[in-house]
Amino acid sequence: MGRVTDKQVRRLNEEMAKHGQIGRAAMKANIDRKTARNYIRVKKFPSQMPIERHWKTHADPFAEDWPELAERLAAAPELQAKGLFEELQSKRPGVYQDSQLRTFQRRVKTWQIQHGPDKEIFFPQEHVPGEAMQTDFTSATELGVTIQGEAFDHLLCHVVLPYSNWGWVTVCQSESMLALRRGIPAALAQLGRIPRFSQTDNSTSATHKISAKAEVEVTATGEAIAGAHRTNGRRPRAFNNDYWDMMVGHYDIQVRTIGVRKSEQNGDVEASNNALKTRLHQHLLLRGHRDFPSVEAWETWAQGVCRLANARRKRVEEELAAMRPLRVETFAEFDEWRIKVSEESTLLVKRNTYSVPPRLAEEWVRVRLYEMSMEVWYADRRMLVLPRILGEYRTRIDYRHVVKSMLKKPGAFAHYRHREAMLPGPVWHQALAALQEGLGERKGEVAYLRNLNLAAEEMECDVEAAMVLLMEAGLLPEVTRVKDLMGLAQPTEVPDLKPLEVDLGAFDALLPDLLSEAI
């Protein structure tokens, strides 16, 4: 029988109060009669009677092998009990059973407490008003936000003032320098003030590794001097030039990072990430749905939630009073290049390929790459905006840019390198197959391209719906039938009108009357 619990003694007392029969009460409480008598006599619960035991109830099953195991632990204190136990079982098959693992883990833990290395301890910090801000990225996909019904996988760039917990967010799709160039200036513009320090983690958006032989100056606290710093004795890291230029050169803010794998050093913003997402989740529940018409609408809404929370921060005014006024323009949040459009009407930007309208083919354009989008400029005019591609060696071809040109050269369709981009969805695959089967391969491709061109001129979803109805009716989805279903009337013929003949004699007859009135 195990040790008696407070619950059992409570039941014992209740039964004794009912009938006073100790044997019956002990049986109801599942306690030995003699033990029950002792608890009734002392009138205490087991938790009020701690028993200190200085003897072992069982022989140590690891006594024979423990000296060697202790030596292994002393040589490598980071060894885990489970791995050590599995190795012990392989060396001594049949001696140790899986059921002894918990006993072995307790044995190792006791050794570690008695002889192991000191554990890392944490020291609570007193934040100074206006001294620092912390920046971090946090995934917001878990919030279940959709854009026009489509799931939106994204991050939030979160800027926090540790002293007052003031915070601001911007939407981004990666932990990149472009995201920082947008998120940090947006937060500073909202504050209208500048803190002394800006702190980030060691992500590649702000820092990079430098050679161990590089000459670096390091302060006792690890803060960066001239852009270089060490992280917990590891290989030195330096701030990226773009990050250094923005923070130090433009805003005159000192920069520092946390230690590698030391997220607790950015603890305020890390904790605020969870609080932020909880707050956004609650407001989304109150809103009643999570769909937004655009990314900009979602970001504006989330910033409104931040604004409400910031209004309740009692220490914000104290922070603002301690910071310098923001007296510089917002830092440009984009990278810009001058690039020549290829004869294929594509742009190669950071190893990714984008299609553009063919009128720009073989022309030099300026490209501005933002965190979420890319702009193409010509002669100081913005020609188009495209979604930014993440990663490298990827391609985004918009059929609307090339379909008119391909209609002039339909033979290029069959082996076009980006042919899949000309098939927007499953319905279009079915339509192409149906047209090729009904009209032949070449004529079917031409008929398909005409439908695709109609989708570029009108609404893709309308053309797609018309093709579905035609195929369900057993008809070929040719463009004339698609237009009829869409209600697109044929152009009205201009009637053949005779030239208007003007008789000037009528005006001559009026002239004498006009002269007499004038006299």
Residue 441 lies in a domain: yes
Q: Of the candidates 234, 214, 485, which has an alpha carbon nearest to the alpha carbon of residue 225?
A: 214
DSSP state of 169: E
* Two structure tokens written together for 106: 């307790």
Which residue, chain included where needed, has tokens 């007499």? 516
Segment 217-241, tens digit of pLDDT? 444 344 444 455 444 444 456 888 8
Q: Is 151 left (phi over 0), alpha (psi -120 to 50) or beta?
A: beta
The kind and range of the H/E element at 457 are helix 441-457
Segment 27-61, tens digit of pLDDT? 989 999 888 898 888 888 888 876 665 556 677 88
Alpha carbon distance 358, 117 (integer Å)? 68
**pLDDT score, position 496:** 73
Q: What percent of the chain shows pLDDT beyond 70?
A: 84
Residue 357 domain-assigned (yes or no): yes
Q: Is residue 153 part of a domain?
A: yes
Q: Do 142 and 199 belong together in one domain? A: yes
* 88 inside domain: yes
Q: Which amino acid is at 92?
A: R
34 and 143 in a single domain? The answer is no
Tell me, rounded to whole angstroms, the distance of Cα 97 from its chain centroid.
Answer: 46
pLDDT at 294 over 80: yes
More confident residue, 283 or 125: 283
Same domain, 283 and 174: yes
Q: Which of the four pLDDT bands, split at 50, 70 and 90, describes residue 199? A: confident
Range of the domain at 405: 400-486
Number of domains in the chain: 5
Domain check: are 21 and 142 in the same one?
no
For residue 427, pLDDT over 90 is answered with yes
Phi, psi of 148, deg, nearest 5: 55, 40
Q: What is the mean pLDDT of residues 192-198?
A: 91
Are residues 350 and 321 part of one domain?
A: no
- Residue reference for tokens 């950071």: 350
> In the sheet where 346-349 sits, what is the strand order?
346-349, 352-355, 395-396
**Nearest-angstrom CA–CA distance, 19 and 35:** 19
- Do 246 and 136 lie in one domain? The reply is yes
Which residue is listed with tokens 């520092």?
256
Residues 392 and 411 in one domain: no
Of 126-140, 356-370, 475-489, 498-512, the least confident: 498-512
Single residue among 292, 325, 358 that ends a domain in this structure: 325
Residue 510 has pLDDT above 70, yes or no: no
| Domain membership flag for residue 502 | no
Query: Would residue 119 be called left, alpha or beta, if left means φ above 0 and alpha means ψ between -120 and 50 degrees?
Result: beta
Does residue 192 share a domain with residue 318? yes
Instruction: State whether 267 and 213 are in the same domain.
Output: yes
State the DSSP code for 330: P
Per-residue pLDDT at 213: 47
439 in any annotated domain: yes
Backbone angles phi, psi at 278, to 5 degrees: -65, -45
The average pLDDT across 380-409 equals 92
Do residues 313 and 174 share a domain?
A: yes
Residue range 190-207: mean pLDDT, rounded: 85
Asked if the structure places residue 518 within a domain, the reply is: no
| Cα 195 to Cα 256: distance, rounded to the nearest angstrom | 13
Domain identity same for 101 and 164 = no
* 139 and 232 share one domain: yes
Confidence of residue 215 (pLDDT cuts 50, 70, 90): very low
Q: Which of 355, 377, 396 is the last residue of a domain?
A: 396
User: Is the per-residue pLDDT at 345 higher than 70?
Assistant: yes
Does residue 477 have a pLDDT over 50? yes
* Average confidence (pLDDT) over 8-24: 89
Longest dimension (CA), the chain: 145
Domain assignment present for residue 192? The answer is yes
- Domain end among 58, 82, 115: 115
Q: What is the CATH number of the domain that holds 230?
A: 3.30.420.10
